[in-house]
Amino acid sequence: DAMVIQNPRYQVTQFGKPVTLSCSQTLNHNVMYWYQQKSSQAPKLLFHYYDKDFNNEADTPDNFQSRRPNTSFCFLDIRSPGLGDAAMYLCATSRTTGGRGLETQYFGPGTRLLVL
Amino acid sequence: DAKTTQPNSMESNEEEPVHLPCNHSTISGTDYIHWYRQLPSQGPEYVIHGLTSNVNNRMASLAIAEDRKSSTLILHRATLRDAAVYYCILRDGWGGGADGLTFGKGTHLIIQP
């Protein structure tokens, strides 16, 4: 009964070679998030989709983009991965309510990206 | 979101209660207190949240100070499976929107058998 699914769990790419990470959800939630978590650090929000509306964090590099073709799927595209982009990438979902304080986010297991 | 302060790490013995503190002296009246935890090699998972009153669920209890400037997550009987990083996060409950979570450094909980 997996709710937020991320495949693969491990992804290896080459320096500068575009890579796409995928996330799907069975919760029918209207919001999907992407977080980056580097080794021994806390997760950091990259961007999120509120329905079809894309919301980018101010300090997210242009190298990172996202697509959400439908409610269930969301993709993270890294156009030219550098060594510093090696990290765990976490997808999360939530259903908005009357206020942010009430919503719970559900995380997937993450995809660990290795850049060679 | 307002800032929280947690100890870097705590250690406890299996089957004993654990009290994880969090300071949030700049909390506003509309901020909810959320706790998430991240087990090794997994994504974070929701634990509990509250506004003013103490809260209980199947995972834990949340004790909130009367002035709301601090809170404590209580694991009543810790097991080895509770070893994780625990994050205390404030979320503004005013208005709609769907901003992401702002994680602090969290507390690394070590459980000794």
Looking at every residue in chain A, the average pLDDT score rounds to 93
pLDDT attached to residue B74:
98
Chain A residues closer than 8 Å to B87 by CB: 42
Contact A100 B97 (CB under 8 A): yes
The shortest C-alpha distance from B108 to chain A (Å) reads: 11
**B49 interaction partners in chain A (CB closer than 8 Å):** 101, 104
B40 burial class (0-12, 13-18, 19+ CB within 10 angstroms)?
A: exposed
Residues A13 and A107 sit within 8 Å (Cβ to Cβ): no
Number of CB pairs, chain A paired with chain B, less than 8 A apart:
86
For residue B100, what pLDDT band results from cuts at 50, 70 and 90? confident
Three-class SS state of A19 = strand
Predicted confidence band of residue B96 (pLDDT cuts 50, 70, 90):
low
- 3-class DSSP state of B62: strand
- pLDDT-derived band at B13, boundaries 50, 70, 90: very high
Question: Across chain B, where does the E strand assignment appear?
Answer: 9-13, 18-23, 31-38, 45-50, 55-56, 61-64, 70-75, 84-92, 107-112
3-class state of residue A52 by DSSP: coil
